[in-house]
Amino acid sequence: MQFILDGLRGAFDLLVAGDPRILGVLGVTLTVALWSTLFALVAGLPIGLWLGLGRFAGRRLGLATANAGLGLPPVVVGLVVSLFLFRGAPLGFLSLIYTVEGMIVAQTVLSLPIVAALTAAAVQGVEPALLRQARALGASRVRVAALALREARVGVLAATIGALGSALSEVGALVLVGGNIEGQTQTLATAVLVRVSAGEYAQAIALGALLLALVFLISAALTVAQQGEAKWQATRAS
C-alpha cells in the first residue's frame, strides 16, 4: 500500500512541476487524437449517411462491414499500416513510418469505422416521414442528407466521443507505426507502458492519471453537448 501511495505522491509532484517530458507526451497525444478524429469524421460521416440512407445492392454487406470494423484489432491495423509505410513499401516514399503523421494515419483507420457505423445507426433512427416530406418539397440529396445529419446529431456526437476516446487510449497500433520514440512519437498511453517496464512507477501513475483526466474531461464536455441536444429535441417534440 505504501508503494502505491509513494507512486501517487510522486505523480502529483511531477504534474505540479510541469515535467517537460510529460507535457511533450501530452502534446503528441492530443495531436494524434484530434487530427485522427477530424479525418475520421470527414470521411466517416458521408459513409455513414450513405449506408444509413441509401438503398442499393450490397447495403447490408456495407453495414455489416462497418459494424465489424468496430472490433478491428488495433495491433493488426498497426501491422498492416506499417507494412504499407516501411521504406520500399507502396507508400514508403511518403516517409511516414515512425512519425506522428503516420500515427495519425493508423488511428484514422481505427476511428473511421466507429464514426461510419454509429452515424449510419443514428440516421437510420431519423423519422422517415420527415425525410420523405423533404424529398416531396424538392430537396436535393445533399439537403436531405444534411437534414438527416442534423436530426441525428445526438448520435453523431456519440460517434465523435467514441472515435476520440479510442484515439486517446490507443497503444498497439501507435507503437507499431510510431515506434514509441521518446520525445517524438510517445503518447500518454504508450508512455505508461514504457515507464512501468522501466520501473518508473511515479511517472507511470502520473501519465495514467493525466490520461484518465484528459479522457474524462473531453468525454464529459461532449456528453454535456450531446445531452443538451437530446433535451432540446425532446422539448421540441413535446
Domain membership flag for residue 198:
yes
Domain membership flag for residue 237:
no
Q: What is the pLDDT at residue 105?
A: 97
Domain membership flag for residue 169:
yes
Residue 230 has pLDDT above 90, yes or no: no
**134-154 pLDDT per residue, tens:** 888 888 888 888 888 888 888
Output the pTM of the full model.
0.87
Domain total in the chain: 1
**162-213 pLDDT per residue, tens:** 999 999 999 999 999 999 998 899 999 999 988 888 887 777 887 888 888 8
Q: What is the pLDDT at residue 121?
A: 92
Query: What is the pLDDT confidence band of residue 81, given thresholds at 50, 70 and 90?
Result: very high
Domain membership flag for residue 197:
yes
Q: What CATH number is given to the structural domain containing 103?
A: 1.10.3720.10
> Using H for helix, E for strand and C for coil, what is the string for the chain?
CHHHHHHHHHHHHHHHHCCHHHHHHHHHHHHHHHHHHHHHHHHHHHHHHHHHHCCCCCHHHHHHHHHHHHHCCHHHHHHHHHHHHCCCCCCHHHCCCCCHHHHHHHHHHHHHHHHHHHHHHHHHCCCHHHHHHHHHCCCCHHHHHHHHHHHCHHHHHHHHHHHHHHHHHCCHHHHHHHCCCCCCCCCHHHHHHHHHHCCCHHHHHHHHHHHHHHHHHHHHHHHHHHHHHHHHHHHHHC
**50-68 pLDDT per residue, tens:** 998 888 888 899 999 999 9
Query: What is the pLDDT confidence band of residue 110, given thresholds at 50, 70 and 90?
Result: very high
Domain membership flag for residue 91:
yes
**Residue 33 domain boundaries:** 2-231
Domain membership flag for residue 53:
yes
Domain membership flag for residue 175:
yes
Domain membership flag for residue 203:
yes
